[in-house]
Amino acid sequence: MHPRERRTNRRHFLVGSAGAVAALSGADALLQAADALAGRLGAPIGPGGIPLARRGFPVTLPLYSDNDPIASGRTTEKGPLNVFNWSDYVNPAVVKKFEKAYNVKVKVTTFENEEEALAKLTSGSAGFDVWFATVDYLSRMVAGKLIQPVNHSYLPNLKNVWPQLQSPFYDVHSRYTVPYTVYTTGIAWRKDKVKTPPTAFKNGYDAFWHAQKYAGKVAILDDQREAIGMGLRHRGVGDVNTENAKLVQAAANDLKQLTKTVNVKTNTTQYTDVPTGATWLGQSWSGDMAGATYYMPKNVPVSVIGYWRPAKNAVVGSDMITVLRGAKNPVLAHHFMNFLLDEKHGVENFSYLGYMPPLKVINPDKVIAQGYIPKNLGATIVRESDFANAVSLLPLTQQGQATWQNAWSAFKAG
Amino acid sequence: MRQRLLWPSFALPGAIWLVLLFLVPTYAVLAVAFGSVDPIFSNPVPVWDPLHWQFDTMRDVLRQLRPGEPFWTVFVRTFVYVTLALAGCLAIGYPVAYYLSRHARRTKKLLLVLLIVPFWVSYLMRMLAWVGLLLPDGLVNRALVDLGVLSHPYGWLDGQASSVIFALVYGYVPYLILPLYATLDRIERSVLEAGRDLGASPLHTFLHVTLPLSKHGIMAASVLVALPMFGDYYTNDVISGSPRTTMIGNQINLFFQGGPQRTVGASLVVVLSVLLAALMSYYLWVTVRASRDLV
Amino acid sequence: MKRFLDWWANPWGQPRTLAVVTWLYMLWAIVPVCIAVLFSFNDGRSRSVWQGFSTRWYWGDPDQSVLHDPALRGALEQTLKLAGLAMLIAVPLGVGLAIGLTRWRGFGARPVNFLMLFPLVTPEIVMAVSLLLVFVSLYKIQLGTTAQALGQVTFSISYVVLVVRGRLLSVGRQYEEAARDLGASTLGALRLVLLPLLAPAIFASLMVVFALSVDDFVVTDYLSSNSSTQTVPIKIYSSVRGTTTPALNALATVMVVATLVAVTFAALVYRRFNKLQQGGGGAVSELAALEA
C-alpha cells in the first residue's frame, strides 16, 4: 500500500483492459530475451515478462522500437500540462512557480489509490502528460507501453539526486523514471506516555511485543506487506519479499500474539492518531510523522512525538515520476520533472509534503536546524546511507501474493 | 389468449432484470468459487460448466474451517455476535413493540413516527453518531469520568467485542421492531380478553396466550435481522479497529481487496450462503409445520 | 407534572414499566443521531467537544465545508445521481412486476414471486460480491456509476413490489372491472383507472427507493471505481475512524434530512389518499407478511 492511500477505495481490481492485451503482445518479441536475462539474474518474472525488480537483481527495463523517447532539442510546448498525481502530493506553491517560470498552466488531477490510477491510465482516453508512479506498477506500465522512456538531455537536475538513485535497481540508467520521494516505515510513539520506546530495546521492533502496559493504544499499519514485513524484520529476516510460507506464517503468528497481548489495532491513521494521543505506539511512515506538527492539539508540543527506524535494513520506499506515452506536452513534462529535482524547489516541496526527495543538498542536520523538521523527528529524514542499507517491499509473484494474503487472513481472523 | 399473456408481460421486464442481475450473479459466485485464476493479472476466471468445476480452492477453504483453524474462529465468533445481538434486539424490541401494539393510546401515532425515524436514518450515520460519542474525549467517557464511574477514559473503540455487539443491536433493532409490531398488532384483543375472562392474570395471559401467538412473528423478525447481520463487516470496521472482533464479512472483504485469491473469497461467500440457507430452511420448515398444525 | 404523578400512582392504569422502557428506547434511538447533527454545527474541529455554534462546515469554511470541499460535494452529487437513476429504473420495473405478479394466474407466477423475494433476505455482501464478479467476468461492465446504478436497482425492485402490491391488493379489481363494463379495453382500464389509484403507492415506492439508494453502502462500495464514484455512506465509512472534522457530520446530516423529508412527503401523500394505512405501515405489514 502507498502511504497516500487513505483507505478510501479498497477495490484493488484490474478490470481487463486494452492495456493488458497490449502488455502481452508487445512484450512477446522480448519475452525470450527477458526470460533469459531473468534466468541469469534469478529474479522472478512479473507480468509482461519483465523481471520483478529486486535489490540484488537490478532490472534494466526494455526499450521498444515503437516507443522511443522524444528527440533532444525540441521546443517547449504551450501547455497546459496535465499532471496525474496522488492527492495532495505536490506543493501547490511549487506548481505555481513552474507555471510562472514556463508561462504555462498546469492542471493536476488526483487519484487515491494505485488501481484507480492504473484503470484510468489504461483506459487510454485520459490525456495525461506526467504520472507519479510506484515500483509496483512500473513493469506493467513499461510492458504495456503506457509510459515513454525519458530523454536525459532535458533532465540536467538529475545530477542533484543521490548517486544510487540516478540509476536505481528498479530502473537501471533511469530509462523511464526519475525519483520523487523516499520514505521509511518505522515506529512512532508518544514520549510522554510510553516508557519503553523502541529506542530502549536492542531490536527496536520488540517495543510492540513488550507494550502490554499500553494495551489498546498500539497500532500497526493495515497493510499486509508492511505489517508482516515488520514481523519478518522483527525476527531478523532480511528478505521482506520472501515467498517462503513458513517464514511468512511465523511472522504473521507473531502479529497474532500482539492481538492477544496488546490488543493491537490496524489502521493507516497514525498521522493524526499519534499526535492526538489515540495511539501511543504505532507503526507509521516517515512522511506522516514529519508533518505531525500540523495535527498536534492545542497545548501539546510536538516534542512529545518520537520516530524510530532501524539504522540498518530499514524498510524503505520510493516514488518516481514518469512521462506518459501519449503525452501531448512531453518536453514540458520533462521540464516539470526537472523543475521538481531542482534543489530549491525540492526542499520547498519537502516542507509541504513531509516526504523528502532524494536530493544531495538535503542535509538532515541543516534541515533540522532550519526548522523544517522538529529535532525529535530527525529520524524521519532518510539519509543516503539509510537507503543503501535498506530493504524495499517489492512486487511478488502470484504464488507469493497468495502466501502473504493467507498469512494476513489468519492474522486478521483474530 | 392475449389476456393470458398480458399480465405476465407486465412482470417480464422486472423478472428478466432479476434473472440477469440476481440469479446469474448468484451462479457466477459458484462459477468463480469453483473456477481458476488468470496467471497474469490475477483476475478470477469463472468456469461455467459444472462438469469442469475445480474443487481445490473449496477443499482448502473447508480445511481451514475445521475447529482451531482461522476460518472456524471467525465463523464461531460471527455466530456468537449475531446470537447475542439478536438476543439484545429482542430484549429491547419486544417490550417496545408490545407496548406500541397493545397499550399506547393517545401517544400511539407519535410513537409510531418516532419508531420509523431511525429506520430511515442511514445505518452509517447512526454508527457515526456512536463513534463520536465513544471517542476518548467523547460525551460518554466524559460523563462517566465526571460521575466517577471511570478513573480515566475507556477505549470503547479499541477492539471491544461488547462495543461491536452493542453497535449491531443499535443498528439492527429498528428492523426488528417494525415487523414485530405488525405481528403483535394483529393479535386480536378478544383472544386476550378471553384469557383474562377465564381467570388468567396479566402475566399468565402474556406467557400463555400472547407469547405463543407472537412466536411466529418473532421468528420472522429474527430471520429478517439475523440474515443481514451475518454478512455485516462495516460495523466491525467502524466500531473496532482490531483483528479481535473480525466477522466473516471482514474475511470475505479481505480477499476482495486485491491479490490472486478472489476464488477464496467467492468460496467463503458460498459457504456463508449455504449456512444461511440452512438456517432459512429450518425457519421455513418450522413455519410450514406450524401453519399445518393450525389447520 | 401532577398528571404524570397521578398516572404513575394509578395501579390500574397502563403498564408503567413498559411505557418507560418504550420512551427510553425512543430516546436511545434518536438522541445520539441528534447529537451528531448538533456537532455538525460545531465551531471548532472536534466531533466530540462542543466549541460554539457555527455553520462553517456546511458552507462557511472555504476549503473543508461540504459546499467547498470537492470530495464531500462530489460524494453528495454522486449519491443524488445514483438515487435518481435508481428511482427512474427500479420503480417502473417494480410496478410492472407487482401488477403482473398480482394478476398472473399461470405457471410462472410462483417462481417469479420467489425470485422477487430472494433479494430481501440476501446479505448485502453476498449480493455485492456476486454483482462484482459477474460485471467483471461475464458482462464486462466497467465498475463505476453504471455498475453502481445497476446494483442498486436490483435490490430496490423487491421493495417497490412490496409497497405497490399492498395497495394493489387493497384496491382490488372492482374498479377496473367497472371500467371494462363501461367499454374500456383492458389496457385502457389499467391506464385510466388502476394507475391513478396506485399513484400514492407509486409515489411512496419512489421515496422508498430514494431512501434505500441514499443509505446503501456495501453494493455501492463494491461496485465503485475511484474517488469520483464515492457516495456519502462510503465517505463516512472511510473517514469516520480518522480525525475528520465535523464536515463529515454535516454531510451525513444533509443526507438524513433529505431522506426524512422524502419519506415524510411520501407518507403525507399516501395518507391523504388512503385513510387506513400510515407511512410505512403498508410496507410494515408486507414485511410481516413475509412469513406467509
Q: Residue C143's pLDDT band (boundaries 50, 70, 90)?
A: confident
The residues in A 275-334 lying below 8 A from C, measured between CB atoms, are 276, 278, 295
Residue (of C184, C56, C85) closest to C144 by Cα position: C85
* CA A362 to the chain's CA centroid: 19
Q: Is the pTM of this model over 0.95?
A: no
Residue (of A36, C243, A264, A401) closest to B135 by Cα position: C243
ipTM exceeding cut-off 0.85 for this assembly:
yes
Q: What is the pLDDT of residue A412?
A: 92
Residue A42: which region, alpha, beta or left (left: phi > 0; alpha: psi -120 to 50)? left
C266: helix, strand or coil: helix
pLDDT surpasses 80 at A2: no
Cβ neighbours of A116 in C, within 8 Å = 225-227
| CA–CA gap between residue A27 and residue A48 (Å, rounded) | 6
pLDDT surpasses 60 at C280: no
pLDDT by residue (tens digit) across A248-263?
999 999 999 999 999 9
| CA–CA gap between residue B236 and residue B181 (Å, rounded) | 28
Q: Residue B220's pLDDT band (boundaries 50, 70, 90)?
A: confident
The residues in C 98-117 lying below 8 A from B, measured between CB atoms, are 99-101, 103-106, 108-109, 112, 115-116
* Residue C127 to residue B25, Cβ atoms within 8 A: yes
Closest partner CB to B182 (pick from C133, C240, C284): C284
Q: What is the pLDDT of residue C127?
A: 94
Query: How many other C-beta atoms can be found within 10 angstroms of the C-beta atom of residue B98?
Result: 21
More confident of the two residues B38 and A287: A287
pLDDT surpasses 80 at B6: no
Q: What is the pLDDT of residue C283?
A: 47
pLDDT surpasses 80 at B3: no
C48: helix, strand or coil: coil
Q: What is the pLDDT of residue A17?
A: 29
| CA–CA gap between residue B128 and residue B132 (Å, rounded) | 6
Give the range among A73-77, A121-125, C288-292 with minimum mean pLDDT. C288-292
Q: What is the pLDDT of residue A40?
A: 45
Q: What is the pLDDT of residue C7?
A: 60
The per-residue b/e assignment along C15-30, b for 16 or more CB within 10 angstroms, e otherwise, is: eeebbebbeebbeebb
The mean pLDDT of C163-183, rounded to a whole number, is: 84
Average pLDDT, chain A: 84
* Residue A278 to residue B136, Cβ atoms within 8 A: yes
pLDDT by residue (tens digit) across A86-104?
888 899 899 999 999 999 9
pLDDT by residue (tens digit) across B124-135?
999 999 999 998
Q: What is the pLDDT of residue A307?
A: 94
| CA–CA gap between residue A337 and residue A180 (Å, rounded) | 9
The mean pLDDT of B32-46, rounded to a whole number, is: 80
Residue (of C223, C78, C217) closest to C136 by Cα position: C223
By the CB < 8 Å criterion, does B246 face chain A?
A: yes
Closest partner CB to A7 (pick from C224, C238, C243): C238
Half-sphere exposure of C56 (CA within 13 A, CB side): 16
Closest partner CB to B7 (pick from C103, C115, C161): C103
Q: Please give, rounded to a whole number of angstroms, the shortest distance from the CA of C48 to a CA of chain A.
A: 13
Vertex A119 angle, CA A116 and A125, to 5° = 120
| CA–CA gap between residue B275 and residue B71 (Å, rounded) | 14
* Residue B73 to residue A414, Cβ atoms within 8 A: yes
Note whether A224 and B162 are within 8 A (CB): no
By the CB < 8 Å criterion, does B251 face chain A?
A: yes
Supply A24's cell numbers.
502481452
Supply C74's cell numbers.
462530489
Residue (of A269, A254, A229) closest to A8 by Cα position: A269
pLDDT by residue (tens digit) across A267-292?
888 888 899 888 999 999 998 898 88
More confident of the two residues A266 and C142: A266
Q: Residue B68's pLDDT band (boundaries 50, 70, 90)?
A: confident
Q: Residue A29's pLDDT band (boundaries 50, 70, 90)?
A: very low
- Tell me the count of A-B CB pairs closer than 8 A: 94
pLDDT surpasses 60 at C292: no
| CA–CA gap between residue A182 and residue A161 (Å, rounded) | 11
Contacts of A204 (CB under 8 A, 6+ apart): A187, A198, A308, A309, A310
Closest partner CB to C18 (pick from B9, B99, B109): B99
Give the range among A276-285, A338-347, C238-247 with minimum mean pLDDT. C238-247
* A24: closest chain B residue by CA: B40
| CA–CA gap between residue A407 and residue A405 (Å, rounded) | 5
* B73: closest chain A residue by CA: A413
The mean pLDDT of A307-315, rounded to a whole number, is: 89
pLDDT surpasses 90 at C241: no
pLDDT surpasses 50 at C169: yes
According to DSSP, the β-strands at A315-324 and A391-392 are parallel
Cβ neighbours of A219 in B, within 8 Å = 241
Residue (of C38, C77, C35, C75) closest to C57 by Cα position: C38
Average pLDDT, chain C: 84
* Residue B70 to residue A410, Cβ atoms within 8 A: yes
pLDDT by residue (tens digit) across A200-259?
999 999 999 999 999 989 999 988 899 999 999 999 998 899 999 999 999 999 999 999
pLDDT surpasses 90 at B36: no
Report cis status (omega within 30 of 0) of the bond before A51.
no
Closest partner CB to B120 (pick from C94, C126, C259): C259
Supply B112's cell numbers.
409510531
pLDDT surpasses 60 at A32: no
Residue (of A197, A201, A174) closest to A187 by Cα position: A197
- Please give the share of chain B, as a percent, with pLDDT higher than 70: 95
- The pairs formed by C269-278 with CB atoms below 8 angstroms and a separation of 24 or more are C269/C200, C269/C203, C269/C204, C270/C200, C270/C201, C270/C203, C270/C204, C272/C200, C273/C199, C273/C200, C274/C167, C274/C170, C274/C200, C276/C170, C277/C166, C278/B109, C278/B112
By the CB < 8 Å criterion, does C134 face chain B?
A: yes
Chain A interface, best mutation among B42, B61, B74, by max A CB count within 10 A: B42
Closest partner CB to B11 (pick from C101, C150, C249): C101
| CA–CA gap between residue C263 and residue C204 (Å, rounded) | 8
Note whether A116 and A303 are within 8 A (CB): no
Closest partner CB to A112 (pick from C132, C136, C226): C226
pLDDT by residue (tens digit) across B94-152?
999 988 887 767 788 888 888 888 888 889 999 999 999 998 888 999 999 999 888 88
If you ran DSSP here, which 8-state letter would residue C10 be given?
Answer: -
Q: Residue B289's pLDDT band (boundaries 50, 70, 90)?
A: confident
Q: What is the pLDDT of residue B1?
A: 52
Note whether C149 and C85 are within 8 A (CB): yes
Backbone angles phi, psi at A153, to 5 degrees: -65, -20
Contacts of B120 (CB under 8 A, 6+ apart): C211, C215, C259, C260, C263
Supply A350's cell numbers.
519537502
The residues in C 59-88 lying below 8 A from B, measured between CB atoms, are none
Note whether C157 and C119 are within 8 A (CB): yes
Q: Please give, rounded to a whole number of angstroms, the shortest distance from the CA of A102 to a CA of chain B.
A: 40
* Residue B242 to residue A259, Cβ atoms within 8 A: yes
Q: What is the pLDDT of residue C14?
A: 56
Q: What is the pLDDT of residue A124?
A: 64
Chain A interface, best mutation among C140, C225, C229, by max A CB count within 10 A: C225
Burial of residue B279 (CB within 10 Å: 0-12, 13-18, 19+) is: middle
The residues in B 114-153 lying below 8 A from A, measured between CB atoms, are 136
Q: Residue C12's pLDDT band (boundaries 50, 70, 90)?
A: low
Vertex A135 angle, CA A129 and A141, to 5° = 50
Note whether A334 and A73 are within 8 A (CB): no
- Please give the share of chain A, as a percent, with pLDDT higher than 90: 43
Backbone angles phi, psi at A50, to 5 degrees: -85, 135
pLDDT by residue (tens digit) across B270-287?
999 999 999 888 888 887
More confident of the two residues C136 and A31: C136
Q: Please give, rounded to a whole number of angstroms, the shortest distance from the CA of A409 to a CA of chain B.
A: 7
Q: Residue A25's pLDDT band (boundaries 50, 70, 90)?
A: very low
Q: Please give, rounded to a whole number of angstroms, the shortest distance from the CA of C84 to a CA of chain A.
A: 23
The residues in C 182-211 lying below 8 A from B, measured between CB atoms, are 186-187, 211
More confident of the two residues C104 and B75: B75
Closest partner CB to B243 (pick from A217, A259, A406): A259
Alpha carbon distances (Å) from A64 to A27, A31, A131, B129, C256: 9, 12, 20, 56, 55
Cβ neighbours of C36 in B, within 8 Å = 125, 128-129, 132
Cβ neighbours of C129 in B, within 8 Å = 29, 252, 256, 265-266, 269
Supply C55's cell numbers.
455553520
More confident of the two residues C11 and A408: A408
The mean pLDDT of B44-54, rounded to a whole number, is: 88
Q: What is the pLDDT of residue C276?
A: 47
* C237: closest chain A residue by CA: A8
* C27: closest chain B residue by CA: B114
More confident of the two residues A134 and A187: A187
More confident of the two residues B196 and A410: A410
Q: What is the pLDDT of residue A28?
A: 41
Highest averaged pLDDT of the listed ranges A133-137, B210-214, C39-43, C224-228: C39-43
Vertex A161 angle, CA A157 and A163, to 5° = 125
Q: What is the pLDDT of residue A6?
A: 56
The mean pLDDT of A68-80, rounded to a whole number, is: 88
Alpha carbon distances (Å) from A135 to A64, A148, A168, A383: 20, 16, 11, 20
- Please give the share of chain A, as a percent, with pLDDT higher than 70: 89
The mean pLDDT of B34-63, rounded to a whole number, is: 84
Q: Residue B2's pLDDT band (boundaries 50, 70, 90)?
A: low
Contacts of A323 (CB under 8 A, 6+ apart): A129, A130, A131, A147, A148, A150, A330, A333, A334, A337
Half-sphere exposure of B211 (CA within 13 A, CB side): 9
Q: What is the pLDDT of residue C114?
A: 87
* CA A242 to the chain's CA centroid: 19
By the CB < 8 Å criterion, does A297 face chain B?
A: no
Q: What is the pLDDT of residue A135?
A: 83
Q: What is the pLDDT of residue A389?
A: 84
- Please give the share of chain C, as a percent, with pLDDT higher than 70: 90
